[in-house]
Amino acid sequence: MKETIIGIDLGTTNSLAAMVFEDGPEAIGRVGENPIIPSVLSKTKEGWIVGKGALPYRLSAPDQTVYSIKRLMGLDFEELEEDRKDLPFEIVKAQRQLVKVRLGGQEYTPQELSAEILKKVKQEAEDILGFSVQKAVITVPAYFDDAQRQATRDAGKIAGLEVVRIINEPTAAAIAYGLDEKKEGYIAVYDLGGGTFDVSILKISGKIFKVVATCGNTHLGGDDFDYALGSTLKAAVQQKYPQADLNDSISQQTFKQIAESLKIELSSSLEADYHIEIPEKSIFFQGKLTVAEFESLIRNILDETLVSCQKALDDSHVTTQDIEEIVLVGGSTRIPCVRKCVEQFFKRTPHVAIDPYKVVAIGAAIQGHLLAGGRRDFLLLDVIPLSLGIETLGGTFSKIIMQNTTIPTEASELFTTHVDQQTSIDINIYQGERELVKDCRKLGQFKLRGIPPMKAGLPLAEVTLHVDANGILTVSALEKRSEQKAEIEIIPFHGLTQYEIDQIVEDSFEHALDDFNERQLIEFRNTVESVFKGIEQFWATAETILTPSQQESIRKQMSVVEKFSKGNDAQALKAQMDILGDLTRPLADASIGNAVLSELQKPSPSSSS
pLDDT of residue 588: 66
d(CA 327, CA 312): 15
pLDDT of residue 86: 65
Lowest mean pLDDT among 89-103, 188-202, 377-391, 510-524: 377-391
pLDDT of residue 1: 46
Is the pLDDT assigned to residue 117 strictly greater than 90?
Answer: yes
Nearest to 199 by CA among 213, 185, 209: 213
pLDDT of residue 31: 78
Identify the three-state secondary structure at position 547.
coil
Nearest to 57 by CA among 92, 11, 15, 104: 104
pLDDT of residue 378: 52
- The crossing angle, in degrees rounded to 10, of helices 512-537 and 548-565 is 150
- Number of C-beta neighbours around residue 21 at 10 A: 16
Q: Which of 191, 413, 435, 439 is catalytic?
A: 191
CB 584 within 8 A of CB 557: no
Residue that wins the pLDDT comparison between 3 and 376: 3
Residue that wins the pLDDT comparison between 371 and 491: 371
Q: C-alpha angle with apex 497: 491 to 502, nearest 5 degrees? A: 110
Q: Which of 70, 120, 122, 263 is catalytic?
A: 70
d(CA 596, CA 538): 9
Identify the burial level of 354 via C-beta atoms within 10 angstroms of its C-beta, where 0-12 means exposed, 13-18 middle and 19 or more buried: buried
Identify the three-state secondary structure at position 516.
helix
Per DSSP, which regions of 417-460 are E strands? 425-431, 441-448
Beta-bridge mates of residue 168:
140
> Would you call 556 a catalytic residue per the annotation?
no
Is the pLDDT assigned to residue 227 strictly greater than 50?
Answer: yes
d(CA 73, CA 126): 26
pLDDT of residue 518: 76
Mean of the per-residue pLDDT values of the chain: 84
Q: Which of 169, 223, 355, 515 is catalytic?
A: 169
Question: pLDDT by residue (tens digit) across 410-454?
Answer: 999 998 888 888 888 888 988 888 888 888 888 888 888 888 888
pLDDT of residue 8: 97
Q: Tell me the mean pLDDT in the region 384-410.
A: 84
DSSP for 526-537, written as a single string = HHHHHHHHHHHH
CATH of domain 181-353: 3.30.420.40
CB 39 within 8 A of CB 15: yes
pLDDT of residue 148: 84
Q: Find the helix or strand (DSSP H, E) in which 197 lies.
A: strand 197-205
Cα–Cα separations (whole angstroms), residue 280 to 232, 241, 580: 21, 13, 60
Is the pLDDT assigned to residue 94 strictly greater than 80?
Answer: no
In this prediction, residue 491 has a pLDDT band, given cuts at 50, 70 and 90, of low
pLDDT of residue 502: 65
> Would you call 9 a catalytic residue per the annotation?
yes
pLDDT of residue 496: 52
Identify the three-state secondary structure at position 211.
strand
- Number of C-beta neighbours around residue 539 at 10 A: 14
In the chain, where does the domain assigned CATH 3.30.420.40 lie? 5-177, 181-353
d(CA 299, CA 229): 12
- Number of C-beta neighbours around residue 9 at 10 A: 30
- Assign residue 365 a region (left: φ > 0; alpha: ψ between -120 and 50; beta: otherwise): alpha
The percentage of residues in the chain with a pLDDT greater than 90, rounded to a whole number, is: 31
CB 26 within 8 A of CB 363: no
d(CA 115, CA 94): 19
Nearest to 160 by CA among 188, 125, 200: 125
d(CA 367, CA 161): 16
pLDDT of residue 499: 59
In the chain, where does the domain assigned CATH 2.60.34.10 lie? 388-495
Identify the three-state secondary structure at position 345.
helix
Domain 513-607 has CATH 3.80.30.20: no
pLDDT of residue 602: 47
Nearest to 73 by CA among 153, 159, 8, 137: 153
d(CA 550, CA 547): 5
> Would you call 70 a catalytic residue per the annotation?
yes
Is the pLDDT assigned to residue 3 strictly greater than 90?
Answer: no
Residue that wins the pLDDT comparison between 423 and 182: 423
- Number of C-beta neighbours around residue 113 at 10 A: 27
Helix and strand element counts for the chain (H, E): 16, 27
CB 396 within 8 A of CB 523: yes
In this prediction, residue 540 has a pLDDT band, given cuts at 50, 70 and 90, of confident
Q: Tell me the mean pLDDT in the region 166-192.
A: 88
DSSP for 35-76, written as a single string = --EESEEEEETTEEEEGGGGTTHHHH-GGGEEE-GGGGTT--
d(CA 136, CA 39): 18
Cα–Cα separations (whole angstroms), residue 99 to 85, 358, 426: 15, 31, 57
Is the N-terminal amide bond of 408 cis, ω within 30° of 0? Answer: yes
Question: pLDDT by residue (tens digit) across 38-84?
Answer: 999 998 888 899 999 988 887 678 788 888 888 888 777 777 777 67
Beta-bridge mates of residue 27:
18
Is the pLDDT assigned to residue 5 strictly greater than 90?
Answer: yes
Identify the three-state secondary structure at position 461.
strand
Looking at domain 5-177, which of 1.10.10.10, 3.30.420.40, 3.40.50.720, 3.40.50.2300 is its CATH number? 3.30.420.40
pTM above 0.85, yes or no: no
In the chain, where does the domain assigned CATH 1.20.1270.10 lie? 513-607
Is the pLDDT assigned to residue 151 strictly greater than 80?
Answer: yes
Beta-bridge mates of residue 389:
399, 430
Q: Are strands 47-50 and 65-67 parallel, antiparallel or unpaired?
A: unpaired
The percent of the chain in helix, strand and coil, each rounded to the nearest 5, is 45, 30, 30
CATH of domain 388-495: 2.60.34.10
In this prediction, residue 468 has a pLDDT band, given cuts at 50, 70 and 90, of confident
> Would you call 146 a catalytic residue per the annotation?
no
Q: Tell me the mean pLDDT in the region 571-599.
A: 69
pLDDT of residue 61: 80
Beta carbons within 8 Å of 530's beta carbon, 6+ residues apart: 457, 604
In this prediction, residue 469 has a pLDDT band, given cuts at 50, 70 and 90, of low
Question: pLDDT by residue (tens digit) across 360-369?
Answer: 999 999 999 9
Nearest to 336 by CA among 154, 487, 505, 111: 487
The percentage of residues in the chain with a pLDDT greater than 70, rounded to a whole number, is: 89
In this prediction, residue 495 has a pLDDT band, given cuts at 50, 70 and 90, of very low
CB 35 within 8 A of CB 28: yes
